[in-house]
Amino acid sequence: MVQTNSGTDVGGPGIPYNRSLSATEMFPAADGTLSVEITVQQGTYGYLNAFSLSATVPTAVVAGQPTTPPSILIDFGGTGATNQIGSGIIPTSSPDFRGFYWNNSSGGQFGRPSDISNMVDQLNQPSGISLAWGSWGVGVASVNLGVSTIPASSPLYGFQGSALGVASAMQDGIYTVSDVNDNFLTLSGMDPAKQYDLSIFASRDDSSGPRYSDYLVRGAWDTNRLIQTSGPNVGGSGIHYNVTPWDCTMVPDSYGNITIYYRGAFSGPAGAVSGTNAWAYLNAMAIRVSGSTGTNTNPPVVTNGPITTFAQWRSVRAAAWGWSGNQTNAMSDPDGNGMNNLMEYCLLADPTNAAARSIRPVLSDSNGYLTLSYLRRTNDASVAIRAEYSSSLGSSGWIPETVTNGPVAVATNSVPGDEGVEVLVRAPVPKNSGSRGYLRAVASQPVNRVLVVGSSTMAYWTTMTTDLAPIPVLNQAVAGTVTTNWLSNYSGSYWSNRVVSQTNPALIYYCGSNDIGNSSSTPAVPSATIVSNTVAFFQDFWARYPDSPAIYLAVQKAPIKKTIGRINNVNEVNNLMKAWVATQPRARYVDTNPVMVDTNDTALPGMFLSDNLHPSAAGYAAMKGVILPVLKEMWYYQVR
């Protein structure tokens, strides 16, 4: 690997020294030794300040068998378009010849490669890990490795083993021709308390001269590698393409993200091609959890340079103002200024001096248009803030910047410190048009998927995944459950297996209908008990996922409730929960009853099945119309 030790701003603005760790995984030689060789790539000196070594026991890999735990396989290449198949740009089909499932990320020969939400592992199980592209370079190309099958003895079977032994994944990929600008993708939804093995493959069949790709993997630390992707005999005698994946180990940052940067080598070994011919490739990748690291305290607090993560911001603020516990949560407002911590961070509030900068968005009138001026942080890609416009103050209908009929940016000015910009936007229509309009600023941070828990109304929603698209959902509801079943101290396994096994989820909760009862012969559980159990669940959920947004779905007034005289029970639970949710900044109360029953609590035609309890297909479609707009407002990828 190549690492820059010193230079102007190498560790950040004003920091001329390296502050990044490099980590890799290596097997010892046959005699049990490891050698570390230091060479000078550029400049006069090479350095080694400190060194640590830890031993792990690798999982045995058998060719053609899944890794344990299963790997996530990604093919950066095939589009499936007819005009591309002939040039060798071929998607990897699922299942492949070994029965393994792949995730394909490509957008056409010169198109943007696709993001993938909630990727599946090689056994076709949802992983909770998503892939999103920041920039990608030029597009997709056929690398033409010239192999139709890859034998089990190939070096393409690294510690990820069977993960990368598919020709269609090897022979094409994403590429760039820049040796200056980084292209990158971000993996989100990972567990910051766990360690992940990454196997990154980059190659091109070309004997004309050596080409090098420069890679940086950033999570709790940085590690980088210069890979020779092509050149005479680089893969062995007569093999002019790279045959060896880069196997590295990384712990995600405190948001659960790992970012992978790549570009052409601008400074490599003698003979490296650079300048306009500095090609870089990304063909395929495999990911798997390799072990637990305990509590991840990264990233460290940085006080002598720009703050670039929300974790740094709230750590500095906690130290300066004596905050602790829930005061540092994203949705908390411990300074009582009416803006939660995440909004203040995105608006470039000074974490140690509340009076140092005006942080509130300012509304004004400019040339007959309503305008909004606000500060937007730009040095942290994991959070976002934008302006939105609406003709009403309802919970839906807000249109973001860059979208037709949304706010129009009219000025952008830099802010000292290179942390962000000051943005001035105006409403899309003038004030004298006769229409009513509103502007607002919205801050967001990533959540990785929506966890759905509760009883049969959710469990029987078999079309939920497609109905709530593009938001990725994981339906963990169980038919017949009552509110006590979802408590953390319940003797069953719902809490441990269906809730805490997830990573940084948003939440949809629907439970309590069975507590109220579906038969007159069974007494209803007291409303206060139902509410107490529900509140306890939310409190336990937020203790584990302190910044996760949540939706509480009101108990439905199914026809059976009216038949047995339990509508008053439903109303009582819903009213108590609505009042409690109103006090919780991370929660939203969503009531689907207005689209399911009329004002007399009589079911609307076709909304329920013949059992008079569960929604019909039409009922679920109606529920979607209520839930999805709220879900989109809460969802990071919709407001990035």
pLDDT digits (tens, 9 = 90+) for 166-183: 777 777 788 887 666 567
Burial environment of residue 60 by CB neighbours within 10 A (0 to 12, 13 to 18, 19 or more): exposed
Considering the domain boundaries, does residue 481 fall inside one?
A: yes
For 456, 461, 560, 608, the CA distances from 605, given in Å and listed in that order, are 21, 19, 15, 8
The pLDDT value given to residue 619 = 97
Nearest to 571 by CA among 559, 561, 560: 561
CA 51 and chain centroid, separation: 32
Residue with token string 């701003």: 9
| Lowest-confidence pick of 78-92, 157-171, 318-332, 393-407 | 78-92
The answer to whether residue 65 scores a pLDDT higher than 70 is: no
DSSP class per residue in 34-96: -------SSSS-------------PPP--TTS--SSPPEEEES-----HHHHTTT--PPPSS-
Between 106 and 93, where is the model more confident? 93
Between 75 and 505, where is the model more confident? 75
Burial environment of residue 402 by CB neighbours within 10 A (0 to 12, 13 to 18, 19 or more): exposed
pLDDT digits (tens, 9 = 90+) for 288-337: 888 766 544 444 344 445 677 777 787 777 766 777 666 777 777 777 77
How far is 624 from 23, CA to CA, in rounded Å? 46
| Lowest-confidence pick of 76-80, 161-165, 361-365, 432-436 | 161-165
Considering the domain boundaries, does residue 540 fall inside one?
A: yes
Q: pTM surpassing 0.85?
A: no
Between 193 and 13, where is the model more confident? 193
| Tally of CA atoms within 13 A in the half-sphere of 462 that contains its CB | 3
| Lowest-confidence pick of 131-135, 245-249, 301-305 | 301-305
Indicate whether 468 and 440 sit together in one domain. no
Q: Strands across the sheet with 172-176, in order?
A: 139-142, 172-176, 280-282
Indicate whether 260 and 366 sit together in one domain. no
For the chain, the first-to-last Cα distance in angstroms comes to 33
How far is 475 from 450, CA to CA, in rounded Å? 8
SS3 344: helix
Considering the domain boundaries, does residue 315 fall inside one?
A: no
Question: Does residue 555 contact residue 573 with C-beta atoms inside 8 Å?
Answer: yes
Of the pLDDT bands very low, low, confident and very high (cuts 50, 70, 90), residue 384 is confident
Omega prior to 470 cis, within 30 of 0 = yes
Indicate whether 439 and 387 sit together in one domain. yes
Q: Strands across the sheet with 506-510, in order?
A: 473-475, 450-454, 506-510, 550-553, 587-590
Task: Dig out the tokens for 186 from the structure.
Answer: 């971000």
Considering the domain boundaries, does residue 17 fall inside one?
A: no
Considering the domain boundaries, does residue 226 fall inside one?
A: yes
β-pairing, 450-454 with 506-510? parallel
The answer to whether residue 345 scores a pLDDT higher than 80 is: yes
Q: What is the mean pLDDT of residues 392-404?
A: 73
Indicate whether 130 and 149 sit together in one domain. yes
Indicate whether 131 and 275 sit together in one domain. yes
Nearest to 285 by CA among 131, 135, 153, 142: 131
Which of 33-47, 49-63, 167-181 is modeled with the greatest confidence? 167-181
The answer to whether residue 225 scores a pLDDT higher than 70 is: yes
Last residue of some domain: 412, 427, 444?
444
Of the pLDDT bands very low, low, confident and very high (cuts 50, 70, 90), residue 524 is very high
| Lowest-confidence pick of 74-83, 175-184, 370-379 | 74-83
The answer to whether residue 84 scores a pLDDT higher than 50 is: no
The pLDDT value given to residue 296 = 45
Residue 209 identity (one-letter amino acid)? G
Indicate whether 134 and 278 sit together in one domain. yes
Task: Give the total residue count for the chain.
Answer: 640
How far is 354 from 456, CA to CA, in rounded Å? 48
Of the pLDDT bands very low, low, confident and very high (cuts 50, 70, 90), residue 368 is confident
SS3 425: strand
The pLDDT value given to residue 164 = 64
How far is 405 from 389, CA to CA, in rounded Å? 8
The answer to whether residue 521 scores a pLDDT higher than 70 is: yes
The pLDDT value given to residue 481 = 95
DSSP-derived secondary structure letter, 600: T
Last residue of some domain: 292, 312, 343?
292
Indicate whether 251 and 281 sit together in one domain. yes
How far is 573 from 51, CA to CA, in rounded Å? 59
Indicate whether 542 and 423 sit together in one domain. no
Task: Please report, for the domain that includes residue 396, its CATH number.
Answer: 2.60.40
Task: Dig out the tokens for 636 from the structure.
Answer: 């990071």
The pLDDT value given to residue 464 = 92
Burial environment of residue 109 by CB neighbours within 10 A (0 to 12, 13 to 18, 19 or more): middle
Indicate whether 196 and 111 sit together in one domain. yes
What mean pLDDT value characterizes the chain? Answer: 78
Last residue of some domain: 403, 420, 444?
444
The pLDDT value given to residue 146 = 47
SS3 205: coil
How far is 518 from 411, CA to CA, in rounded Å? 59
How far is 60 from 76, CA to CA, in rounded Å? 26
The answer to whether residue 59 scores a pLDDT higher than 50 is: no
CA 39 and chain centroid, separation: 38
Indicate the number of domains in the chain. 3
pLDDT cut 70: percent of the chain above it: 73
Task: Please report, for the domain that includes residue 472, its CATH number.
Answer: 3.40.50.1110
Structural domain boundaries, residue 537: 450-638
Considering the domain boundaries, does residue 18 fall inside one?
A: no
pLDDT cut 90: percent of the chain above it: 22
DSSP class per residue in 124-184: S-B-S-EEEEEE--SEEEE-----S---TTSTT-STTGGGG--HHHHSEEEEE--SSS-EE
The answer to whether residue 263 scores a pLDDT higher than 90 is: no
| Lowest-confidence pick of 31-35, 107-111, 193-197, 597-601 | 107-111
How far is 55 from 154, CA to CA, in rounded Å? 25
The pLDDT value given to residue 512 = 96
Question: Does residue 151 contact residue 135 with C-beta atoms inside 8 Å?
Answer: no
Residue with token string 């910051």: 192
pLDDT digits (tens, 9 = 90+) for 584-619: 878 999 999 999 999 999 999 999 999 999 999 999
Considering the domain boundaries, does residue 372 fall inside one?
A: yes
Task: Dig out the tokens for 528 from the structure.
Answer: 């206060």
Task: Dig out the tokens for 556 from the structure.
Answer: 């439905």
Question: Does residue 586 contact residue 542 with C-beta atoms inside 8 Å?
Answer: yes
Indicate whether 515 and 560 sit together in one domain. yes
The answer to whether residue 556 scores a pLDDT higher than 50 is: yes
DSSP class per residue in 313-334: HHHHHHHHHT--GGGGSTT--T
Between 506 and 254, where is the model more confident? 506
3-class SS letters over 94-126: CCCCCCCCCEECCCCCCCCCCCECCCECCCCCE
Question: Does residue 517 contact residue 524 with C-beta atoms inside 8 Å?
Answer: yes
Residue with token string 């839930």: 627
Question: Does residue 347 contact residue 385 with C-beta atoms inside 8 Å?
Answer: yes
Considering the domain boundaries, does residue 77 fall inside one?
A: yes
Residues in CB range of 388: below 8 A, 6 or more apart: 398, 399, 400, 401, 406, 407, 439, 440, 441, 442
pLDDT digits (tens, 9 = 90+) for 439-496: 888 877 656 678 999 999 999 999 998 898 878 888 999 999 999 999 988 887 788 8
Longest CA–CA span in the chain (Å) reads: 87
Indicate whether 592 and 483 sit together in one domain. yes
How far is 557 from 594, CA to CA, in rounded Å? 10
Indicate whether 471 and 603 sit together in one domain. yes
pLDDT digits (tens, 9 = 90+) for 412-432: 777 666 678 888 889 988 887
